[in-house]
Amino acid sequence: MRIDLHTHSSVSDGTDTPAQLVAKARDVGLDVVGLTDHDTFDGLDEAVAAGERLGVQVVRGMELSCSRRSSSVHVLAYGADPASPELAAEMALVRDGRLGRLDGVLAKLAALGVPVSEAEVMAQVGDSPSVGRPHIADALIKAGHVGDRQEAFDRFLADGGPAHVPRYTIELERGIDLIHQAGGVAVIAHPWGRGREHLLPPKVLHTLVDDHQLDGIEVDHQDHDVETRRKLRRLADSLDLLATGSSDYHGTGKLDHDLGCNTTDPEVFDEIQRRLARADSSADRPSPPLDHEPNT
Residue 76 · residue 60 · CB < 8 Å: no
Nearer to ligand AMP, 70 or 295 (CB): 70
Entry field: residues in the chain: 296
Assign residue 193 a region (left: φ > 0; alpha: ψ between -120 and 50; beta: otherwise): beta
Choose one: 24-32, 132-140, 227-235, 281-289; the region binding ligand AMP (CB under 6 A). Answer: 132-140
Closest distance of CB 6 from Fe ion, Å: 8
In this structure, how many other beta carbons lie within 10 angstroms of the beta carbon of residue 84? 18
- Considering the rule CB under 6 A, would residue 95 count as an interface residue with ligand AMP? no
Nearer to Fe ion, 13 or 90 (CB): 13
Using rule CB under 5 A, residue 74 touches Fe ion = yes
Which alpha helices (DSSP H) does the chain contain, by range?
18-27, 44-54, 85-100, 102-111, 118-125, 133-142, 149-152, 172-181, 202-212, 226-239, 266-282
Q: With contacts defined by CB under 6 A, name the span among 103-111, 127-135, 206-214, 231-239 that binds ligand AMP.
A: 127-135
Identify which of residues 23 and 99 has a Cβ nearer to ligand AMP in the complex: 99
Does 224 bind ligand AMP (CB under 6 A)? Our answer is: no
Cβ distance to ligand AMP smaller for residue 38 or 145: 38
Residue of the chain from 248, 263, 269, 275 that contacts Zn ion (CB under 5 A): 248
**Of the residues 6, 24, 38, 180, which one makes contact with ligand AMP according to CB under 6 A:** 38
CB of 83 within 8 A of CB of 77?
no
- Amino acid occupying residue 283: A
141, HSE (Cβ side, Cα atoms, 13 Å): 16
CB nearer to ligand AMP: pick between 41 and 153: 153
Binding stretches for Zn ion (CB under 5 A): 63, 248
